[in-house]
Structure 1
Amino acid sequence: MDLDGKVVVVTGGTRGVGAGIARSFVGAGAEVIVCARRPPDVPLPKTEFVALDVRDGDCVRRFFAGLPRVDVLVNNAGGAPYRLLTQAEPERHVRVLELNLLAPLTVSLAAYGHLKRVRGSIVMTGSVSGGRPSPGTAAYGAAKAGLENLARSMAVEWAPDIRVNTLVVGMVRTERSPLHYGDDEGVAAVSRTVPLGRLAEPSDVGAAAVFLASDAAAYISGASLLVHGGGERPAFLDAATVNKET
C-alpha cells in the first residue's frame, strides 16, 4: 500500500481520528495536507496545515483551486455534542447536519476536478451511529446515514474516474475519550462491550483509510468498511435469563 508521491487532503485532520489518519498516510509515503479551523495542539510531523472551515463553500473552493494536485480526499471533519433533540433549537441540529453531511458534499465537489484527472479516491469517515438509533446525537446519526448513502451515489456517478468508499467507525480512544466515556475505569467498562475487547486506536482507522485509498483496493468502490471491533453485543443477550452457562 505504497502511496509515495500521492497528495492527500484530510479534513479535520489535526486531532483524534483525523490525526491518526494523517499519520497513517504519512507512514505510507504520501504528502499530507490537514485542514481544520484551528491548528493542531501538537504539530503533526511531515504534514502541512491549512486553516479551513469546511462549511464555508467559497473558502473550500478557493483552497482546492490553489492546489496543483490532489490524489486522495479524506472527508473526516465532523462530530457533535451530546444533545437531546428537545434540548436545543432546530438551528443547532441543522449545524450538525451541515458539518457532517453537507460539508463533505461541498468538499468533494470542490476536489472533483483534481481527483478525476488522476483517477483518485475519496474516503468518507462514517460512523456506526448512522446505522442504529443515536439518542443524544440524533442529527449526527442521521447525517452519517446520509453520508454513507451519498458515498454510494458518488461511487456510481463518478465511476470509473473516482472511487468513493466509507469507513463505518465505532468507538475510538482519543484525547477526547473522557468526554464520552469518563475516566480509565469508564473506558475499560465501555471496552468490554466491544467483541475485540478494546476501543479502536486512531491508527486502526488510519490503516483502513490507507487501504481504501491504495491500489490494494483498486476494485473497491461504493463500499462501507466496518471498523468497529466486531460491533456491539446485543443487549438482549445480557438481559436473557436462560442458557447463561452456554
Structure 2
Amino acid sequence: MELGNPIDFTGRAVIVTGGSKGLGAVIAEAFLAAGAEVMVCGRTAPATLPSSGGRQAAFRSTDVRDPDAAARLATAATERFGRLDVLVNNAGGSPDADAATVSPRFVEKVVALNLLAPFYVAQAANLVMREQPEGGSVINIGSVSAHDPQPGTAAYSAAKAGLLGLTRALALEWAPMVRVNHITAGLIRTASATGLYGEDGGTAVAGVVPMGRLAAPADVARACLWLAGPHASYVNGADLAVHGGGEIPARDLARRSIAPPPFSSP
C-alpha cells in the first residue's frame, strides 16, 4: 500500500491567510520547505516574506473579511500556480474586551475576522479544488477558547466556536473532493508572546499546560502538513488538538500551591 511522502508537497499550491507574520509565516515556511508553492495574504506587505531553501512565498494584499477580496485571493493563487490544493485559514485574533461594555462594531469586526472571513475564503477555494482530480484540503486554525472561554473573550470565543461548527458542516457538504479540518491551537510562543502572556514571555503561563511549555509555531505548522498530506486522506471534519493537553484544572493547581501539612504520629 503506497501512502506517499507526508511531507512532499512538490507541485502543490497553498494559501495561508495571515501568513506574512507570526504563526502564519511559520506555516507558510513549512509548506515552502516541503516543496509547495505558497501565497500569503495580509492587509499590508511585510518587510520580509516567508521563505525556505531560497524560495519565497508570494504575497497579495487582501482584507479576507471582504467576500469579493477573498474570491480574488483564490483566483490570484490559482492563476499564479495553475492550481490550488491547500487553504490554511490562519488569520484571526482579538484583543480582550469587557463583554458588558464592548461596542457592537467591535463584536462585528471580531466575528467577521474569525468566522466570516474563513467562510468566504473557503468558499472561493472550494470552487477551484472541487474541479481538480486530486481535490483539496481546507484547514481552519481555531482556538482553545472555542472549548474553554476565558474572561474578556466573549466575541472571540463565540466566533471560534462557530468556526469549529463551520468546519464540521463544510466537511459534510464538500466531501469527498475537499476535506475540511480544524486545529484547536493552545497557547503559542510567538514574537508577541510578551504582550500576550506577560514580561516572562509565557514562562509562568506554561505551568498550567500539562506538557510544561507553550506551543512552538512549528508544532502547529507540522499539524497542518499532516492534515493536508496523504497520511490524512481519510481525515475529514476532525478537530485536532494541538494544545499540549489543554490546561490543568484550577483545583489541581490550587492543590499544588498548598503544601500538605507534615505527617505526625498521634
Alignment TM-score, normalising by the size of structure 1: 0.94
For the residues of structure 2 that align with 1:99 and 1:194, how far apart are their CA atoms? 27
Cα distance, 1:233–1:117 mapped onto 2, change above 3 Å:
same
- The offset of 1:178, in angstroms, is 1.1
1:165–1:222 Cα contact (<8 Å) kept: yes
Equivalent position of 1:226 in the other structure: 241
Map 1:10-159; keep pairs closer than 5 Å: 10-45=16-51, 46-66=56-76, 67-68=78-79, 69-118=83-132, 119-159=135-175
> How far, CA to CA, are the matches of 1:149 and 1:228 in structure 2?
19
Match of 2:193 in 1: 177
Q: Number of aligned pairs?
A: 244
Q: CA deviation at 1:82?
A: 1.2
3-state SS, counterpart of residue 20 of structure 1 = helix
Which has the higher mean CA deviation after the structures are superposed, 80-89 or 168-177? Answer: 80-89
Q: Aligned equivalents of 2:114 and 2:180: distance in 1?
A: 16
SS in 1 for 2:14: strand
Q: Which moved more, 1:152-161 or 1:131-140?
A: 131-140
Shift of 1:240: 4.2
Task: Give distance in 1, aligned partners of 2:87 and 2:207.
Answer: 34
The corresponding residue for 1:165 is 181
Q: Give unpaired runs (5+ residues) of structure 2.
A: 1-5, 262-266
Cα distance between partner residues in 2 of 1:166 and 1:62 = 24
C-alpha contact 2:64 2:121 (8 A) present in aligned 1: yes
Following superposition, which runs of at least 4 residues in structure 1 exceed 4 angstroms of deviation? Answer: 240-245
| 1:151–1:164 CA contact under 8 A, matched in 2 | yes
> For the Cα contact (< 8 Å) 1:19–1:202, is it kept in 2?
no
Q: Could you give the per-residue CA deviations for residues 30-80 of structure 1, whole angstroms, max 9, x where no partner exists?
A: 111001111224331221111100011112222323323210000111000
**Structure 1 residues 5-14 or 187-196, which shifts more?**
187-196
Equivalent-residue separation in structure 2 for 1:135 and 1:41 (angstroms)? 34
CA distance in 2: counterparts of 1:52 and 1:64, whole angstroms:
11
| 1:163 maps to amino acid | R
Is contact 1:123–1:209 with CA below 8 Å preserved after alignment?
yes
SS at match of 2:59: strand
Partner Cα distance (1:237, 1:60) in 2: 45
Letter of the aligned partner of 1:183 in structure 2? E
Aligned counterpart, 2:252: 237
* Alpha-carbon displacement from aligned partner over 1:111-130 (angstroms, at most 9, x marks no partner): 11111123100000000000
Q: What is the root-mean-square deviation of aligned Cα atoms in Å? A: 1.7
How far residue 134 of structure 1 moved from its aligned partner, in angstroms, is 2.4
Give the aligned residue type for 2:69: C
Q: Which stretches in structure 1 are left out of the alignment for 5+ residues? A: none
Question: How high is the TM-score relative to the length of structure 2?
Answer: 0.88
8 A Cα contact 2:211 2:245, kept in partner: yes
Query: Could you tell me the percent identity over the aligned residues?
Result: 47
Tell me if structure 1 keeps the 8 A contact 2:149–2:157. yes
